[in-house]
Amino acid sequence: MKIDRQLLRASWHSWLSNDNGPRAGPWWMAWAWTFAFSALLAVVFTILGFLAFARGEGAWRNVSGWLYWYGKNFTVTLVISAVIHLLFDLARATVAPPWRVCGWRSWQRTLFFTGVPLLGVALGWPVGVWLAGADMNVWIGSREGNNIIAGTVFMSVMITFLLHHYFSAKAQKIEAEHRATEAQLRLLQAQIEPHFLFNTLANVHSLIDHDAAKAKAMLGAFTDYLRASLVGLRREEVTLADELALAEAYLRVQASRMEDRLNFRIEVDDTTRRATLLPLLLQPLVENAVHHGLEPKVEGGSIAVCARTEGNSVVVEVRDDGSGLGGPARKGAGMALANVRERLAARFGSAASLTVAAAQPGTLATLRLPLSVAPSAALPGATR
């Protein structure tokens, strides 16, 4: 994976986010931010220590003293930061997944994002002090040691509280950027849906007199499409199962119209169906496969929608055996794909991608993004 400015920015945003979401970028990058934060915090504690305890005219110019105490402080802050990092990872996988954190109130977020670091301090501080070479019995048994412990706890509470609110403000700014991008999507969706709406209703109207059963089937599929599309318009995040339900309903409508010229199948396991993603990421890929892949071919063709998990990523593929990238001009496809890429970049940076490549035959669109899984539920699936 190429490490660039965009990926670093996305990784930094995911590290300081207050939604406890998955980390953008490789796993070690989040640990690099934790390491850098520990190194910076150790500088702060070293300066505070010299302010409180440095004695003598040459104490502040004692470089070896600075390095000695910085090493001690860095050991302690690194252990505490590592414990806090692990606690957040554990919480994300158990009691505080992103889908649950997003529904919390402000006081619940404050309690969680303050409580976890404090627990990390309580667990990590004794271990860090021990690794730094100090005798815990001396620290606990002396007045000076007790004062240092009390001061450390107080400083930890203050730093945790201030950092939480700082991170919350940053997260709100990032969320505002996301909402601006989503607003562009809603505008584009509002412009596109009426065409599909009117064309479908016109097809139903033309079928009523001579093929009522087919008109009823198309109307039923269209009703399912409208119901599924409301999910994406009302939520900031949906499951892959929701996206698949929308794609299936859309393909059923198109299959009723194109008859034997369109066949489709959807192959996704239940675990992958619970993956969460931004709404309306899959739909443009399916629409492109129909309009720019199969419709230009007299004989039509087939579409396969497949998804799988690969490590910490979910991969979604839309493959058609239509006219391919070298076929008729794909007018309108570029705007939809550019919109998907812009939304991925705004949320995940380089941690997510959309690629469109020639297949043999047809076209393969591949969507890759960080894996985040919603709770287990009965999820729909279909094959045609």
In a domain, 182, yes or no: no
pLDDT(86) > 70: yes
pLDDT(13) > 90: no
| pTM of the complete model | 0.52
- Please report whether residue 264 resides in a domain: yes
Among 101, 81, 93, 117, smallest CA distance to 171 is for 101
Task: Report the pLDDT value the prediction gives residue 184, as an integer from 0 to 100.
Answer: 57
Q: Is residue 87 part of a domain?
A: yes
Cβ atoms of 74 and 38 closer than 8 Å: yes
Task: Read off the pLDDT band of 380 (50, 70, 90).
Answer: very low
Residues 126 and 218 in one domain: no
Angstrom CA distances, 239 to 124, 228, 232, 379, stand at: 36, 12, 10, 9
| Same domain? 123 vs 71 | yes
Q: Which of 125, 150, 175 is the last residue of a domain?
A: 175
Tell me the pLDDT of the chain averaged across its residues: 77
- Look at residue 328 in the predicted model and tell me its pLDDT: 53
Q: Which of 175, 202, 224 finishes a domain? A: 175
Same domain, 62 and 130: yes
Residue 192 in domain: no
Question: Per-residue DSSP letters for 18-37?
Answer: SS--PPSS-HHHHHHHHHHH
Residue type, 253: V
Phi, psi of 258 (to 5 degrees): -90, -10
Classified as helix, coil or strand, 96 is: coil
Q: State residue 279's pLDDT score.
A: 82
Neighbours of 170 (CB within 10 A): 15
For residues 35 and 161, state if they share a domain.
Answer: yes
Number of compact structural domains in the chain: 2
How large is the average pLDDT for residues 135-159?
62
Same domain, 86 and 232: no
What is the reported pLDDT for 377? Answer: 44
CATH number (domain holding residue 262): 3.30.565.10
Residue 57 lies in a domain: yes
Residues 23 and 163 both lie in one domain: yes
The more confidently predicted of residues 243 and 98 is: 243
**Could you tell me the two tokens for 244?**
């698949």
Q: Is the pLDDT of residue 60 over 90?
A: no
Task: Decide if 380 is inside a domain.
Answer: no
Q: Where does a domain end: 148, 175, 202?
A: 175
| pLDDT given at position 74 | 93
Asked whether residue 169 falls in the same domain as residue 217, the answer is: no
Considering only residues 23 and 72, tell me which one the structure prediction assigns the higher pLDDT: 72
Same domain, 243 and 130: no
Q: Is residue 375 part of a domain?
A: no
228 alpha-carbon distance from chain centroid: 22
Convert the pLDDT of each residue in 210-241 to its tens digit: 777 878 877 877 777 777 676 655 566 788 99
Instruction: Looking at the structure, tell me whether residues 28 and 153 fall in a common domain.
Output: yes
* pLDDT single digits (tens) 14-53: 787 766 666 777 888 889 999 999 999 889 888 887 887 7
User: Does position 187 have pLDDT exceeding 60, yes or no?
Assistant: no
17 and 156 assigned to the same domain: yes
DSSP-H helix ranges across 94-142:
98-101, 106-131, 136-141
Bridge-partner residues for 364, per DSSP?
A: 319, 357
Q: Is the pLDDT of residue 111 over 60?
A: yes
Q: In which domain, by residue range, is 19 found?
A: 5-175
- Whether residue 20 sits in one domain with residue 161: yes
Using 50, 70 and 90 to split pLDDT, how confident is the model at 165?
A: low
Domain membership of residue 107 (yes or no) is yes
Shared domain for 126 and 272, answered yes or no, is: no
3-state secondary structure of 4: coil
C-beta of residue 99 within 8 angstroms of C-beta of residue 238: no
